[in-house]
Amino acid sequence: MSNPSGSAMQSRTRPRGASRFLTQGRGLRGRIALNDEEDAPFERPSSSRDVYNDEVEDDDDENAGLLVSAVPMSGALAATPRTPTEYPDAPTRGEIALRKINAKPSQRERKRSWWWGGRSDDAPGPPRTVTLGDSDRQRSKYPKNVVRNQKYNVFTFLPFVLYEQFKFFFNLYFLLVALSQFIPALKIGFIATYVAPLAFVLAITIGKEALDDLERYRRDNESNSQPYRTLVQAARLSKKSRRRGRMQLDAESEGDKAVFLNVPSSQLKAGDLIFLQKNDRVPADVILLKAIGGDHSASPTEDQSDEPLGKEGFKIVLGEELDQQHGPSAVVRNTGDGIGNGADAGASELNGEEAGTCFIRTDQLDGETDWKLRVAVDLTQNMSNDELVQLGERASVYAGPPIKDIHTFFGNFTLHPDPSDTCSAGAPLDPERGGPAVGDLRNRASPSRKGLTASEHLDGTSTPIAMGLQSQVSPLTAENLLWANTVLAAGSAVGLIIYTGRETRAVMNTSHPETKAGLLDLEINRLSKILCAFTFALSAGLVALNGFRGEWWVYVFRFLILFSSIIPISLRVNLDMGKTVYAKQIQNDPEIPGTIVRTSTLPEELGRIEYLLSDKTGTLTQNEMELKKLHMGTMSYGWDAMDEVAAQLASGLAHIQSHKEDTSRETTSPSKALVNPFLAAGAVLGGRGRRDMSSRVKDVALALALCHNVTPAFDESGAVTYQASSPDEVAIVRWTESIGLTLIARDRTSISLRASSSDTTLSFSILEIFPFTSESKRMGIVIRDNSTKEIVFYQKGADVVMSKIVAENDWLDEECGNMAREGLRTLVIARKRLTEDAWLTFERQYKAARVRMEDRNEAMAQVVSQHLELKLELLGLTGVEDKLQDGVKTTLELLRNAGIKVWMLTGDKIETATCIAISSKLVARNQYVHQVAKLKSLEAARDTVDFLRSKLDCCLVIDGESLQLLLDNFRLEFIELATQLTAVVACRCSPTQKADVARLIREYTKKRVCCIGDGGNDVSMIQAADVGLGIVGKEGKQASLAADFSILQFSYVTKLLVWHGRNSYKRSAKLAQFVIHRGLIISIIQAVFSAIFYFAPIALYQGWLMVGYATIYTMAPVFSLVLDRDVSEDLALLYPELYKDLTKGRSLSAKTFTEWLIISVYQGGAIMLLSLILFENEFLNIVSISFTALVVNELIMIALEITTWHVYMVISEIVTLFLYCVSIVFLPEFFDLKFVLSPRFLWKVALIIAVSSFPLYVIKIVRSRLAPPSYSKLATS
């Protein structure tokens, strides 16, 4: 085939025998073109035109008639034959891949793209195809990359803030009262008297919102203006762009060269090439095209080598012979066996550009502190910067619609042929391989064809089509993505921006959880409505007593205004300030360091908790795993026998080394001998039954040392740290290190171990990894021993799934139960040896599943289960211990004594959960434990409900399946019984089930529920609770960031609830009732005055007296109640039973409200009546006498309510009284200074105060003697 425009290219008829083109994203060896005659069967896509999101137009495709086929490959590139009659209607991969390269989007596509770009903010984004050659207009259809955390702008600030304030009943009520003063008929006194308090409250709130939003604006502006370097082609730079980038180009930078342009983050667009260095925050969702240096940053101006080492010892050479005639093609030459003999080899691959990997930190995205490994697209990893910018429309990315899931991404990266390339008659053959280059398609004669092209020979042979003329597709997954708001932890990277602004994962996962309202706030809101009704009744009653004379409706409104202080506007201000004080006290408590109050409106809720729902792993336990037991069927090793395990491993490796040396003498020279860890003793002795124990230990140790996702990372000092997504993985790798098998290097394609006994390095190639997921509950890896080329599939996972995968055995279930009863977490290890043909068959079908855009995960899982997960050889069972946190036992026992019912919700096995419940003292001594597992029928569920009804003192242990069955069929009956049990343990619970249980308890019991956890799987439960506690755990800060209170360990719960919760609730209850009393008493005085003076709606106290009464005359002493405490800290912790009284809500109830109402009516009536009785000649004296008696009475009442005096309380009382006395001098319109300084003023005020306050003091003394509170009994004992 000498010319692409030949007869075959001009054909308008697509022959049925055209090949299907399949690619895979791991190295050149994965990009294989398979003929119909040689391709394996594949499942037909649901749409024959959307495999790569590219429509193939039969009438317009110049390449429609091109026949392509595969070169028969050997080794890793071999293919399994198939007949051309299979799936005759399925589209060929050649049809999809060999399409018009420069095709432009149709008019309909342009309209659709424009319409998508104009969608509303709430609409989900569509799938997209982004190329490096998109114009600015095409890129502008995607959202701007603007970070916006502001709530308001200049125009919406006041309207929105005022709406948020006046939707509260308090503020709306006083707004109406203030506005009524602008009506002449309703005006009473100074307008400032009613406007000033409301304006003060609003000014504080609006000012706080303004400062917070201004700070958000500054952070947003800083983030949006952060400069980033983008890679652009010099020829495409406009003068405007050059000026904006502040760059000067020299002659060498012109043309097709890559240049760097500084662009603010807010101006980045989808399709931009961005360069990131170590510690750079990723500004958008970026596809990693190229990773430079695994552990150090590289200069962006240095061109990287185009000749890295490929997989399996092949050296990729771009150019050479084919380059002169066909453009960039690939020739693969063998450069050796690629086996390293030391840490240096592995480290060079890990740190070099050829590794194609980098690390990112995701703690600000998912809360996990472990670094995550990201892999570059293999098609672009080896390109220089100049080559990347020259790709233009040749490189396109199909990406699915933006979604929230940060662990899922579906897409394809397609690299189209260069349209400037020309074809020749053939391609040179690889002299060492005897065939064309890897990935080359062949133009082979087909019986169905009527003629031969110029490139075909008369003898029926075919000539290769250079790889540069093929469209190559690489599947994209989440491991190829750098999500926005993550940080590049090591190395440098070049990426393609795919999602911006609101479509990034970070923004889509930024949700504002539902605002939680405390129970105390709800109770006060109900009381405020009662007070409103009382105010209206009092106003109507006075008008009715006057016989509804004249304009009585006006009088009603005037009385409502006079009595507006009954609903004090300062109540919410005092409570909010009190909550701030409680939060500061909690955070500054030295005994619970590191505690953070994230929701300052809920401290009182800590004193009302009746149900505590706790996670197990990382919450009750330390989440610090230590391998304690190893079982291999006929032999079991405990924690005290690990030295013997190490000796057996050394013996097994030494036996292999000796066998290898014997073999190498016969086949190779000694200098080229390599370690062979897979020539197991089983092969030598003839079967597993005759293998010695050292060989079996070696097999298990190798499996654990290889089957994981741990990567060693080295800091500047050279110290090694292990990075993994789970502490379980790190624990196992550290265990293998302790017995003599150390992980020294790892990248995406290789892993190296050092055997300390012989100081040799074991080198392996990673062929495929199957990560652990919560759904699969297992993890697998396929590796190739670089010395023997033997392929092995290792898998480890939970016993519930592995028991169905491994070959039949008679000990696995029994030993799993035994370990679970010891409180150990079990992990089953298995393996399967694969032949080369079996691996290639699996690989081909797995690659086909990987490039599917629909049901990709399901298709991949199906291929794995069909080819790999069949009758695996069971190697062993490990038992990992997760120790209890410090103080867990005493904490749970104390909480149980406090009347709090503790539930443990975990995803672990029922045996392990039962063991932890007993060892942690969640189950009381001698308490019966009732286990319910694997309920299948309604009859069994009914029997369980009946048993629980007769045994309410037991501890229920139930698995998730049985729990769901009971909730689905006996919901109310089960929850009624379960909430009466002292302890419940739910096992095998999903995160959704945990949240559902929390909501169900809240809805059914109407009690306060607290949830505590440490991992991302606990977030939904924490957010569903009335109070969420998050522990900063080994798995990250996700739970801590989502919680209302963040703590460092479970034992802090004791003081948080029993001490701080008690104080917060008791203080707020007392503060709220006294503020209400302060408003009630002055309103009663006004009502008595109006009733005596012919029911006239005239204000007794006006102007500054009303303002001063709510502020400087009473505010400080009243607010000092937030420092009161009824018991000492030691007493509260020593007698947790005191907590039970708090849950009953007796500190603020209808009874206490009625008592304060009676006190207010009595004291207000006494002050006003006595002031009238002692009335002299001038009305002014009534105001001075009654108001002075009122202020002093309030100070005395505060003193009577204080249980434990604080120095600030004494100061506030003295300073307030002093300020009042001084203010009398400056208010001559209300006070006759001569009369105030006279002895008769003093004795009259003293008499009024004695009558109003002394009886209450006597009642308090009598009550403390006859019916003392429980805490006072303990304090005196």
Q: What one-character DSSP code corresponds to residue 423?
A: -
Distance CA 1184, CA 664 (A): 113
> Residue 1107 corresponds to which amino acid?
V
Residues tagged active-site: 615
Are the beta carbons of 748 and 410 closer than 8 angstroms?
A: no
CB 615 within 8 A of CB 882: no
Rounded-to-integer distance, Cα 130 and Cα 906, Å:
43
Task: Give the single-character DSSP code of 198.
Answer: H
Cα 36 to the center of its chain, rounded Å: 46
User: Residue 425 contacts by C-beta under 8 Å, 6 or more apart in sequence?
Assistant: 1, 2, 454, 455, 463
Give the C-alpha separation, 845 to 840, whole Å. Answer: 9
CA distances for 437 relative to 77, 353, 843, 859, 894, angstroms: 11, 24, 20, 30, 73
**Residue from 351, 350, 360, 296 nearest 488 by CA:** 360
Instruction: Return d(Cα 20, Cα 470) in angstroms, integer.
Output: 12
Q: Which region holds residue 633: left if phi is over 0, alpha if psi is between -120 and 50, else beta?
A: left
Residue 434 burial class via C-beta count within 10 angstroms: exposed 0-12, middle 13-18, buried 19 and up: exposed
Nearest to 1152 by CA among 1269, 1274, 1273, 1008: 1269
Q: Hey, is 601 helix, strand or coil?
A: coil
| Selection from 406, 319, 308 nearest residue 356 by Cα | 308
Distance CA 618, CA 205 (A): 40
Residue 1170 makes CB contacts below 8 A (sequence gap 6+) with: 1189, 1247, 1248, 1251, 1252
Q: In a 3-state reduction of DSSP, which class is residue 386?
A: helix
Q: Cα(1145)–Cα(1142) distance, rounded to whole angstroms?
A: 6
Pairing type for strands 983-987 and 1008-1013 reads unpaired
Q: Which residue has the tokens 């410090």?
A: 886
Structure tokens at 982: 């002292």
Q: H helices of 798-924, where?
A: 799-802, 812-821, 836-850, 856-867, 888-897, 910-919
Binding-site annotation: residue ranges for ATP: 615-617, 729, 772, 796, 825, 906-908, 988, 994, 1017-1018
Binding region for Mg(2+): 615, 617, 1014, 1018
Cα 1274 to the center of its chain, rounded Å: 45
Strand runs (DSSP E) across 692-776, as ranges? 711-714, 720-723, 741-746, 750-755, 760-770
Place of tokens 């597993």: 688
Query: CA nearest 1022: which of 1245, 1037, 1203?
Result: 1037
Contacts of 1141 (CB under 8 A, 6+ apart): 1270
- Rg (C-alpha) for the chain, rounded Å, is 39
Q: How far apart are CA 852 and CA 856, in angstroms?
A: 5
Annotated binding-site residues read 615-617, 729, 772, 796, 825, 906-908, 988, 994, 1014, 1017-1018
Q: Which two tokens stand for residue 100?
A: 């018009």
Up-side HSE of residue 1038: CA atoms within 13 Å toward CB? 20
Residues in the chain: 1277
Transcribe 828-859 into DSSP letters: EEEEEEE-HHHHHHHHHHHHHHHT-SSSHHHH
Which has the closest alpha carbon to 747: 1059, 1270, 1094, 310? Answer: 310
Work out the angle at residue 359's Cα, subtended by the Cα atoms of residues 353 and 360, and round it to the nearest 5 degrees: 140
